[in-house]
Amino acid sequence: MKKLMIPIIIVVALGIGAVVMYIILGGGDSGEPVVKPDVIIDYSPGSNFVVNLKDNTKTIRVEILFKIVQDDTILDLLAAENARIRDTIIFILRELTYEEARADNVKAILTERLIGALNEELGIENFREVLFTDFVTS
């Protein structure tokens, strides 16, 4: 009987040791919430924009595609607020001077202005990136 008890005690001890090591080495629940990666979607506010540049007779034609973080309400919000989004974009483009439009970093300037203004206007933080699919100054 003693010969049978020794292997059982060894197996139980090894099992308990394995569970303890699993928990210590981080295999158990760390108590931190699992963070899901953001799902990024494309959003087009519609056809291109043609506006006059500030203090100049030149115009700019821009077509824009936004990268937006998707959540439960964003698609409904974008559909409901599309006119306001287009108005904000036009306002920002009309504030662009001819010198800014010709600068090497014009897209970076517009990206910063557009993302900031749209997130603020809609009270969200979903706008992440701006892609210019057409950009012509004339």
| One pLDDT digit (tens) per residue for the chain, 138 residues | 556 666 666 666 666 766 666 766 665 555 666 677 889 999 999 999 999 999 889 999 999 999 999 998 999 999 999 999 999 999 999 999 999 999 999 999 999 999 999 999 999 999 999 999 999 998
Q: How remote is the C-alpha of 57 from its chain's centroid?
A: 36
The SS3 of residue 10 is helix
In CATH, what is the architecture of 40-137?
Answer: 2-Layer Sandwich (3.30)
Global pTM value: 0.72
Instruction: Give the Cα separation of 101 and 92 in Å (integer).
Output: 12
Instruction: Give the Cα separation of 22 and 135 in Å (integer).
Output: 56
Domain ranges of the chain: 40-137
Instruction: Give the Cα separation of 121 and 116 in Å (integer).
Output: 8
